[in-house]
Chain A
Amino acid sequence: MSTTVKAQKFDGMAKPLALYRAMLRIRRIEEEIARRYPEQEMRCPVHLSIGQEATAVGACAALRQDDQIVTSHRSHGHYLAKGGDLNAMMAEIYGRATGCCGGRGGSMHLFDDRVSVLASVPIVGSFIPLGTGAAMSYRNANQDRVCIVFLGDGAIEEGAFHESVNFAALKKLPVVYFMENNGYSCYTNLADRQPDRPLPDLAKAYGISSAQVDGNDVIAVHEVTTAAVARARAGNGPSLIVADTYRWLEHCGPNYDNDIGYRTPQEFQSWRERCPVESLASRLIADRTLTNDAQATLISEINAEIESAFKFAIASPFPDPATVRDHVYA
């Protein structure tokens, strides 16, 4: 059942351009967060997703607006790819009342019902059952929605992964477990945490479909996710997607950390050369879907939006301390 999907030649239509724009936007936003983080005004931990844009964008583009996602601490890319409000995300990171959680969550808790971001929570594995339960609720409500659970390679070490996939397979729930394998849990290599075996084979233990995909190829990610989502929506149960990718920056924070000894500069460089954003750009330019002028326009549009979002966040009021006890009980 496990299949390896190779990148297919994209068709030069508008969709690749849209995927490129979405990735470029996430890249630029994360870069701006990293650049301004030392100003000490974004006073919460940030887990940036630079290098991993293709998984978020390719997967979320396979979903409808009312399809839900759940994700982890590294959720900016997922939130934005699902259509999340950049102003609300930046305000949340700045701890402002206009944030998507009113400043109660910070970077690691991005919730937004308007775009069906059900939850992002930073305890690894903790969100996997939430997405599984969301998928169960669709059936009770006679809805044909699908939920994507974004998880990292570390999350499959958690019992919650096994418990959730077992249950979803048993009940044939409409959920896609999308694993972004970036090779590290904080600073510990996958090889130091798990036995050497093909990760997609995990799905065999549950009798569900799986696929492995180049997680830096947004077109391939999109195709494989579209198939898994269609299978889930048709009532054929969950699947596991393993997308291999790489986190460019440190686990938490704005810096490169290839000098601290847990990974080599050569390893980083090999992934840097496979940048998901640049590689699609060169394909689009070679294919004349994108011109250099159009690319420059995109960048300046995105930069203007980012500038405006930071301004919005910084100009927004902090939440009223008198509201600190609100919403403990519903």
Chain B
Amino acid sequence: MHEARLITAGEAILEATDLAMAADPTVILMGEGVADPKAIFGTTANLAQKYGPQRVIELPLSENGFTGVAIGAAMNGLRPIIVHQRVEFCLLAMEQLINNAAKIHYMSNGAHRAPIVVRLIVGRGWGQGPAHSQSLEALFAHIPGLKVVMPSSAQDAKGMLLASIQDDSPVIFIEHRWIHYAKGHVPPGMHVTPLDGPHQLRKGDAVTVVSNSYLTLETIRAADELAKMGVLVDHFDLRVIRPLNVDPIVESVRRTGCLVTIDTGFMTYGIGAEIVSRVMERCCLQMKAAPRRIGLPEHPTPSSRSLAAAYYPRSPDIAAMIAEVAGAPEARIADLRSRLSAERDSVPLDIPHHSFQGPF
């Protein structure tokens, strides 16, 4: 009866929200589209009917205003979940998140709490373009008082959303749109995954690899191929961007002497930069090679698939970078890259898999 079923992360998010709302009447859901027929890509489907308009609140287009409304309600004991269909809409609400949500507990000397969850969806592909595809976790992670979570699997999407809703601090919960399609064995019921840091996906002594969100899936594929050529990586899915628990990564780098970070966001001033700095502060003398970072290049996301083709790092790029750090010969790196490219090129670059037919 309690066996995990194979469901998508999108379905897992809906299940977690439903469970949390059933268990706790103070949990409310707010967003532009939470009660509409599309129901945020199905992740809020039927909740409006089940819990009514006082708990599932369809909102006017007032991102900063309704974020403040959620914070005010949270200070009085509610646990609002806010949803934005794209990260960029939340940029209109940065004032409330940074000035109020992140600081209410601190500046009230612990008297007030702002237990809100802000679900942000990162778009990718199908020409999403400059303002529908940004992975801006570094902006939120810069602010003390906010927690930032990025699941890469259906199991974590459910378990960590439940943990985020139960958390007494504001949590920015960043869902890559392509992760919504990721299937996993998800246990039913209140299966809470603590927001305690990186999850080790693979053990190995060659290179420590830290990835997050959708790029964890590309990295898993890269690591599989690397294993076939004898390069065993110590692979961590970062999951919790802030507060950053770097201890398991430092322990790993002490063994491997090599570090590669892989971000869904911009590389410059990104999560990888923070991880590399923290690791180097603690074990730079044990390094066998310079740490390397993968992230997005120094320009906005173009819409046209021809311009976007080289924009996103993919499994061949990730595998090649890791192999290079591990000191693999050039010929073998080229072979590795071509094998992974052949596989990845069987799916158009602007969609996650063949079933995806746009528009979102």
Contact across chains for A123 and B99 when beta carbons are under 8 A apart: yes
Return the chain B residue nearest A132 by Cβ: B69
* Stretch in B104-112, B175-183, B211-219, B341-349 with 4+ CB within 8 Å of A: B104-112
CB distance from B226 to the nearest CB of A (A): 37
Contacts known (A126-B95, A167-B66, A330-B169); A101 close to B107, Cβ less than 8 A: yes
Per-residue CB proximity of B63-78 to A under 8 Å, as 1/0? 0111111111111111
8 Å CB contact of B145 from A113, A170, A326, A328:
A328
Question: Can you list 7 A-B contacts (CB < 8 A)?
Answer: A70-B72, A103-B109, A133-B75, A140-B78, A167-B65, A329-B147, A330-B167
Contact across chains for A141 and B64 when beta carbons are under 8 A apart: no
CB distance from B117 to the nearest CB of A (A): 13
A155 at the interface (CB under 8 A from B): no
Return the chain A residue nearest B26 by Cβ: A140
A131 at the interface (CB under 8 A from B): yes
Per-residue CB proximity of A168-198 to B under 8 Å, as 1/0? 0010000000000000000000000000000
Contact across chains for B111 and A160 when beta carbons are under 8 A apart: no
Contact across chains for A129 and B65 when beta carbons are under 8 A apart: yes
B359 at the interface (CB under 8 A from A): no
Contact across chains for A130 and B71 when beta carbons are under 8 A apart: yes
Contact across chains for B106 and A328 when beta carbons are under 8 A apart: yes
Q: How large is the interface on B (under 10, 10 to 19, 20 to 34, 35 or more residues)?
A: 35 or more
A136 at the interface (CB under 8 A from B): yes
* Stretch in A1-9, A47-55, A104-112 with 4+ CB within 8 Å of B: A104-112
Contact across chains for B108 and A126 when beta carbons are under 8 A apart: no
A327 at the interface (CB under 8 A from B): yes
Contact across chains for A133 and B71 when beta carbons are under 8 A apart: yes
Contact across chains for A126 and B100 when beta carbons are under 8 A apart: yes
A287 at the interface (CB under 8 A from B): no
A166 at the interface (CB under 8 A from B): yes
A128 at the interface (CB under 8 A from B): yes
B357 at the interface (CB under 8 A from A): no
Return the chain A residue nearest B144 by Cβ: A328
Contacts known (A137-B77, A139-B54); A129 close to B69, Cβ less than 8 A: yes
Contact across chains for B68 and A126 when beta carbons are under 8 A apart: yes
Contact across chains for B75 and A330 when beta carbons are under 8 A apart: no
For the complex, what is the distance from the CA of A327 to the CA of B113, rounded to whole Å?
Answer: 10
A56 at the interface (CB under 8 A from B): no
- Interfacial chain B residues near A328, Cβ < 8 Å: 105-106, 144-145
CB distance from B195 to the nearest CB of A (A): 10
- Interfacial chain B residues near A111, Cβ < 8 Å: 107-108, 111-112
Return the chain B residue nearest A108 by Cβ: B107
- Interfacial chain A residues near B44, Cβ < 8 Å: none
Interface residues of A in 114-170 (CB under 8 A from B): 118-119, 121, 123, 126-141, 159-160, 162-164, 166-167, 170
CB distance from A176 to the nearest CB of B (A): 15
Contact across chains for B106 and A104 when beta carbons are under 8 A apart: yes
8 Å CB contact of B69 from A103, A133, A141:
A133
Interface residues of A in 186-218 (CB under 8 A from B): none
B60 at the interface (CB under 8 A from A): yes
B115 at the interface (CB under 8 A from A): yes
Contact across chains for B65 and A137 when beta carbons are under 8 A apart: no
B42 at the interface (CB under 8 A from A): no
- Interfacial chain A residues near B169, Cβ < 8 Å: 329-330
For the complex, what is the distance from the CA of A167 to the CA of B71, rounded to whole Å?
Answer: 15
Contacts known (A105-B107, A140-B26, A160-B68); A134 close to B62, Cβ less than 8 A: no
Contacts known (A163-B62, A163-B66, A167-B66); A141 close to B77, Cβ less than 8 A: yes
B54, B77, B110, B167 interface centre (most CB from chain A within 10 Å): B110
For the complex, what is the distance from the CA of A226 to the CA of B65, rounded to whole Å?
Answer: 26
- Interfacial chain B residues near A137, Cβ < 8 Å: 72-73, 76-78
- Interfacial chain A residues near B147, Cβ < 8 Å: 329
Contact across chains for B64 and A160 when beta carbons are under 8 A apart: yes
Contacts known (A132-B65, A166-B62, A170-B60); A140 close to B54, Cβ less than 8 A: yes
- Interfacial chain A residues near B70, Cβ < 8 Å: 133
B128 at the interface (CB under 8 A from A): no
For the complex, what is the distance from the CA of A123 to the CA of B64, rounded to whole Å?
Answer: 13
Contact across chains for A167 and B69 when beta carbons are under 8 A apart: yes
CB distance from B337 to the nearest CB of A (A): 43
A102 at the interface (CB under 8 A from B): yes
Per-residue CB proximity of B43-73 to A under 8 Å, as 1/0? 0000000000011000110101111111111
B28 at the interface (CB under 8 A from A): yes
- Interfacial chain A residues near B25, Cβ < 8 Å: 140
Return the chain A residue nearest B53 by Cβ: A171
Contact across chains for B72 and A129 when beta carbons are under 8 A apart: yes
Contact across chains for B72 and A130 when beta carbons are under 8 A apart: yes
CB distance from A100 to the nearest CB of B (A): 8
B168 at the interface (CB under 8 A from A): yes
CB distance from A204 to the nearest CB of B (A): 18
